[in-house]
C-alpha cells in the first residue's frame, strides 16, 4: 500500500513525498497552506497537474471532508449510506450497522436529515460513511476541530484500532499540533507552497518553525521545554498522563 507524489506542480513549487503501510501520517498547516489540496489529490488524482501521482492498484480511500456538509449528497442520513453501497457486494443493512458500531452511533440517527444532526453526530456519521466501503486508506480533514479531550481520546482509540488491527493507513489533514503530536507516526509541515519539513513527531519541537508557519506549539512541548530548564535530564513524553507521572516521580526522587 503506497501513495507517491513525484514533482507534482501544486503551485510554482514541486511536491515530492511517499507514504506507505499502516501508519498515521499528519499533513499540518494553517488555513492558507496546501494541506487540503494535497488531500484532494490523494483522493482524486484525475485532476490535470504537472508531475505524477501513483497509488497502489488495490488502494481504496475513505475521505471525511471539511466542511462536514460536503460529505452528504442526500438529505436523509440513511439515503447517503444506501447511495454509497449501491451496486456493491455488501449486505447493505449489515454493512451500515457495522459502520455505525465502529463510530459508536445509534442506528436511530439513520431516520433523520443530516442538517438536524448536532456537530459531533455530524462528524461521526461522516466518518461512518467514509468507512462504509472498508477502505484501506482513511483521510480526515480538520476532524479534531471542535472536539473536547474525551472526544479526542475516543478518536485516538479508533484510529489506533484501524491502524493496528485492520492495517489501515490514516492521513490527518490538520492544524491541531497538540493532537498530531500524540498520535502521528510521521508528520509533514506545510506552508502555502510546499513541504517545509518532514519527520517524526519531534519536528514539532522546532518552536521557531511553528511560529513562522503560524502554527500552535503543542502544550506538552511548551511544558517540557520549561521543565527542562530546571532539569536538563528530563525525557520527552507523548501524552500528558505519562508526563504527569514522570513529574511526580521526579519530584519524589528529589525529596
> Is residue 56 domain-resident?
yes
CA atoms within 13 A on the CB side of 223: 16
Residues 212, 254: Cα–Cα separation, whole Å: 38
Distance CA 121, CA 124 (A): 5
Q: Is 199 helix (H, G, I), strand (E, B) or coil?
A: strand
223 and 152 housed in the same domain = no
Count of domains observed in the chain: 2
CATH number of the domain bearing residue 43: 3.40.50.300
Give yes or no for a contact between 73 and 142, defined as CB atoms under 8 angstroms apart.
no
Asked if the structure places residue 211 within a domain, the reply is no
Report the alpha-carbon distance of residue 122 to residue 129 in Å, rounded. Answer: 11
Q: Are 84 and 132 in contact (CB under 8 A)?
A: yes
Q: Which pLDDT value is given to residue 255?
A: 44
Statement to judge: residues 201 and 245 lie in one domain: no
Question: How many angstroms separate the CA atoms of 191 and 135, rounded?
Answer: 29
**Domain identity same for 236 and 160:** no
Residues with Cβ within 8 Å of residue 21, at least 6 apart in sequence: 1, 2, 169
Q: Cα(30)–Cα(216) distance, rounded to whole angstroms?
A: 10
Query: In this structure, are 157 and 32 located in the same domain?
Result: yes
Do residues 179 and 252 share a domain?
no
User: 212 CB contacts (<8 Å, ≥6 apart)?
Assistant: none
Same domain, yes or no: 7 and 125: yes
The residues near 242 (Cβ < 8 Å, ≥ 6 apart) are: none
pLDDT < 50 regions, the chain: 253-255
DSSP state of 68: G
In this predicted model, what pLDDT tens digit does every residue of 51-102 receive, in sequence order? 889 999 889 999 999 999 999 999 999 999 999 998 788 888 999 999 999 9
Pure H helices in 109-215: 119-131, 149-164, 177-183, 207-212
For residue 8, the cross-strand partners are 15
d(CA 165, CA 17): 26
Same domain, 182 and 225: no
Give residue for cell 506552508. 191
Q: How far apart are the first and last CA of the chain?
A: 52
Q: Is residue 223 part of a domain?
A: yes
63 assigned to some structural domain: yes
Residue 223: per-residue pLDDT: 79
φ/ψ region of 206 (left if φ > 0, alpha if ψ in -120 to 50, else beta) reads beta
Q: What is the pLDDT of residue 88?
A: 82
Quote the domain boundaries for residue 247: 218-255
Number of H helices, E strands in the chain: 9, 9
Asked if the structure places residue 212 within a domain, the reply is no
pTM of the model: 0.89
Same domain for 243 and 143 = no
In a domain, 213, yes or no: no
Amino acid at each position: 500500500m503506497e501513495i507517491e507524489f513525484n514533482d507534482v506542480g501544486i503551485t510554482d513549487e514541486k511536491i515530492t513525498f511517499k507514504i506507505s503501510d499502516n501508519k498515521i501520517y499528519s499533513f499540518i498547516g494553517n488555513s492558507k497552506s496546501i494541506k487540503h489540496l494535497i488531500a484532494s489529490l490523494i483522493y482524486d488524482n484525475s485532476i490535470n497537474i504537472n508531475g505524477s501521482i501513483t497509488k497502489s492498484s488495490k488502494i481504496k480511500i475513505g475521505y471525511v471532508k471539511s466542511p462536514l456538509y460536503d460529505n452528504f449528497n442526500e438529505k436523509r442520513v440513511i439515503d447517503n449510506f444506501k447511495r454509497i453501497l449501491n451496486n456493491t457486494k455488501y449486505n447493505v443493512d449489515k454493512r451500515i450497522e457495522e459502520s455505525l458500531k465502529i463510530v459508536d452511533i445509534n442506528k436511530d440517527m439513520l431516520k433523520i436529515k443530516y442538517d438536524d444532526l448536532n456537530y459531533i453526530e455530524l462528524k461521526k456519521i461522516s466518518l461512518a460513511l467514509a468507512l462504509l466501503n472498508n477502505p484501506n486508506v482513511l483521510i480526515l480533514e480538520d476532524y479534531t476541530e471542535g472536539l473536547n479531550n474525551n472526544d479526542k481520546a475516543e478518536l485516538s482509540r479508533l484510529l489506533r484500532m484501524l491502524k493496528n488491527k485492520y492495517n489501515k493507513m490514516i492521513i490527518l489533514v490538520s492544524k491541531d499540533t497538540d493532537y498530531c503530536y500524540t498520535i502521528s507516526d510521521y508528520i509533514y509541515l506545510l506552508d502555502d507552497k510546499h513541504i517545509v519539513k518532514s519527520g517524526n513527531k519531534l519536528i514539532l519541537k522546532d518552536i521557531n518553525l511553528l511560529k513562522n508557519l503560524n502554527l500552535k506549539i503543542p502544550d506538552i512541548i511548551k511544558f517540557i521545554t520549561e521543565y527542562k530548564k530546571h532539569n536538563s535530564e528530563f525525557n520527552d513524553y507523548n501524552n500528558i498522563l505519562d508526563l504527569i507521572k514522570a513529574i511526580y516521580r521526579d519530584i519524589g526522587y528529589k525529596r
